[in-house]
Amino acid sequence: MATAASGLAYPERFYAAATYVGFGGSPNSAAKGVASKFSNDTALILYALYQQATIGRCNIPKPRGWSPIEQSKWTSWNELGTMASTEAMRLFVKILEEEDPGWYSRVSDFIPEPVLDVQIN
């Protein structure tokens, strides 16, 4: 299966996908954006894979029982264990491509233009 995003290499491909999904801002606003675009199960795994790719192994204490959403997010991330960040990036993009095959054709709206480093002598 060829993908439209095949021109981007990792980690840029992952960051483009993460920005498209909504992981460009604060974790709370991103979680709301992801939940509105995908099913709960898909949103949870995308959240967990994003955390694993950008932070690594789950490093926060298990939330108390009064917040089922936070517990679900923690469990999803914690279950990834010691998965390598590169593997988490690859799976994140793979799941996005399965759920939203045309994401890359719309990604230019979400990726900022590159900043050129210009030296003036």
pLDDT tens readout for residues 65-121? 788 989 999 999 999 999 999 999 999 999 999 999 988 887 765 555 554 455 565
The two three-digit tokens of residue 12, written as one number = 């840029």
Quote the pLDDT of residue 3.
43
The reported pLDDT for the residue numbered 23 is: 85
pTM: 0.78
| Residue 67 placed within a domain | yes
State how far the Cα of 113 lies from the Cα of 20, in Å rounded to an integer.
14
| Separation of alpha carbons 111 and 108, rounded Å | 5
pLDDT band at residue 4 under the 50/70/90 scheme: very low
Domain count, the chain: 1
Residue 114 lies in a domain: no
Q: According to the model, what pLDDT value does residue 115 have?
A: 46
Structure confidence by residue, pLDDT tens digits, 33-63: 566 789 999 999 999 999 999 999 999 999 9
Is 119 within a domain?
A: no
Please report which residue ranges of 1-121 form alpha helices under DSSP H.
12-21, 27-37, 40-54, 68-78, 85-99, 103-106
Domain limits for position 79: 7-109
- At 109, list the tokens: 């709206």
> Residue 40 belongs to a domain with what CATH number?
1.20.80.10
Residue 101 within any structural domain of the chain: yes
pLDDT of residue 2: 40
**Any domain includes 37:** yes
